[in-house]
Structure 1
């Protein structure tokens, strides 16, 4: 299958410290690809470069064959490349439903002219956005708390809400950053099931940074291991777990 994300020979340094060193990875369209490695391997930095949060020093990043090198996150959003965060970024004083309704860009109601002179258009669009948001709320299992302030949700519910936000757009690739962090095992099961459904039923491609190896084992194929800013090895979770280099660099480092 074709690579929807193609990272080519990327370098990134902070001062004299090289964090990403001639790193190249490919994420196949329709895959759930895992990105793991010991602390300091460069995972978060590479993630932030792909997501448009950090500029690279040299190299190229392509999205479905289109050059997106150093494009900011807001431009990538409109191209269908989105990310979630390790710490959820909800609008705490808005309800869960309202959080989802905020996502679609360029809504008619954002224009004062439309609000004054085209109220019927604004109401029609808002009704459609609300309908879609309710569908998403049902999909992610948050219907019972749809009218709860997002700030009052549990950590796991906030992560589900973040995943739901990606469904309010024309997402093609979703970057998941430590989505299991701070989530209880029950809600983590819901998260994993929703990711699998989005991949299977809607064709989402995922790139996942995660320390929960059980989650990586269930979700991801292939798995890419970074070490010292470069790709050490790529393969199935079984190949990764039995690779002596990974045991030494990753699992050994964690023990």
Structure 2
């Protein structure tokens, strides 16, 4: 397998507090890689650095062989890197299908000139985007709420809708941030199944931060353990769960 994301010697401080310390790891192309660690380990910070939200102080980020260090999120989006959030960010007063239609960049209807002088082009493109959005809705099993205002959806349905947004682009890699948070067990199974399907059917690479170890066990191989801002260990979920260093990091030396 080739490498989709390379994190090389990354460091990040906030004031005098060093949060990420010489952190290096790879995310292989086509993998579903998990990232776990105790609270304060730096998981969200390294996620935000990769996603272009935080600039790094030192180090390098490589995306599919291309240096993308400190590129902003919109440029990373154009290169195929997307992320979801622990708290879903939907357009509450728009329908589920309209939320998906908002995703594709550089739509003809965004240009005033095209709207005035090429309305047929705008309508044709919008129809094609709507058709794709409906296909994504059906793929995710959300057809029954396609016309419902997104603000009225349950937490799990909003997470599925966020996952659907990533399918509206030519995504290479998706960063999933606490996708299980606030989701009931039934919809969590739907989320997990759809992530596996996207990985298998569409070839999307995933990097997943998650506290739900059952979900990590079902989805992820390998799993990276972060502690004190750097990689402690990496391996299969079975190796991770039996590793004395991981047990100590989570539960203290008395549990090791």
SS at match of 1:175: strand
Contiguous gaps of at least 5 residues in structure 2: none
Looking at structure 2, the residues matched to 21 and 197 of structure 1 have their Cα atoms a distance apart, in angstroms, of 35
Q: How does 1:105-124 map to 2 (within 5 A)?
A: 105-124=105-124
2:236 matched to which residue of 1?
236
Q: Residue 114 of structure 1: CA displacement?
A: 1.2
2:183 matched to which residue of 1?
183
Could you say if the C-alpha distance between residues 143 and 251 of structure 1 is closer, same or farther in structure 2, counting changes exceeding 3 Å? farther
Over the residues paired in the alignment, what is the CA RMSD in angstroms?
1.0
Q: How does 1:132-147 map to 2 (within 5 A)?
A: 132-147=132-147
Q: How does 1:162-177 map to 2 (within 5 A)?
A: 162-177=162-177
Looking at structure 2, the residues matched to 242 and 249 of structure 1 have their Cα atoms a distance apart, in angstroms, of 12
SS at match of 2:186: helix
Pair 1:227-2:203 in alignment: no
2:159 matched to which residue of 1?
159
CA deviation string 1:47-103 (max 9, x = no partner): 000000000000000001100000000000000000000000000000000000000
Looking at structure 1, the residues matched to 120 and 18 of structure 2 have their Cα atoms a distance apart, in angstroms, of 55
Moved more, 215-224 or 112-121: 112-121
1:81 matched to which residue of 2?
81
Moved more, 2-11 or 242-251: 242-251
Q: Residue 250 of structure 1: CA displacement?
A: 2.0
1:207 matched to which residue of 2?
207
SS at match of 2:18: strand
Looking at structure 1, the residues matched to 90 and 12 of structure 2 have their Cα atoms a distance apart, in angstroms, of 30
Could you say if the C-alpha distance between residues 252 and 239 of structure 1 is closer, same or farther in structure 2, counting changes exceeding 3 Å? same
Looking at structure 1, the residues matched to 33 and 225 of structure 2 have their Cα atoms a distance apart, in angstroms, of 11
SS at match of 1:249: helix
Looking at structure 1, the residues matched to 251 and 60 of structure 2 have their Cα atoms a distance apart, in angstroms, of 30
Looking at structure 2, the residues matched to 205 and 161 of structure 1 have their Cα atoms a distance apart, in angstroms, of 18
2:9 matched to which residue of 1?
9
Aligned length: 254
Looking at structure 2, the residues matched to 250 and 124 of structure 1 have their Cα atoms a distance apart, in angstroms, of 54
Looking at structure 1, the residues matched to 52 and 251 of structure 2 have their Cα atoms a distance apart, in angstroms, of 30
With normalisation by structure 1, the TM-score equals: 0.98
1:130 matched to which residue of 2?
130
2:218 matched to which residue of 1?
218
Looking at structure 1, the residues matched to 186 and 87 of structure 2 have their Cα atoms a distance apart, in angstroms, of 19
Q: Residue 3 of structure 1: CA displacement?
A: 1.1
Looking at structure 2, the residues matched to 45 and 250 of structure 1 have their Cα atoms a distance apart, in angstroms, of 19
With normalisation by structure 2, the TM-score equals: 0.98
Looking at structure 1, the residues matched to 93 and 28 of structure 2 have their Cα atoms a distance apart, in angstroms, of 38
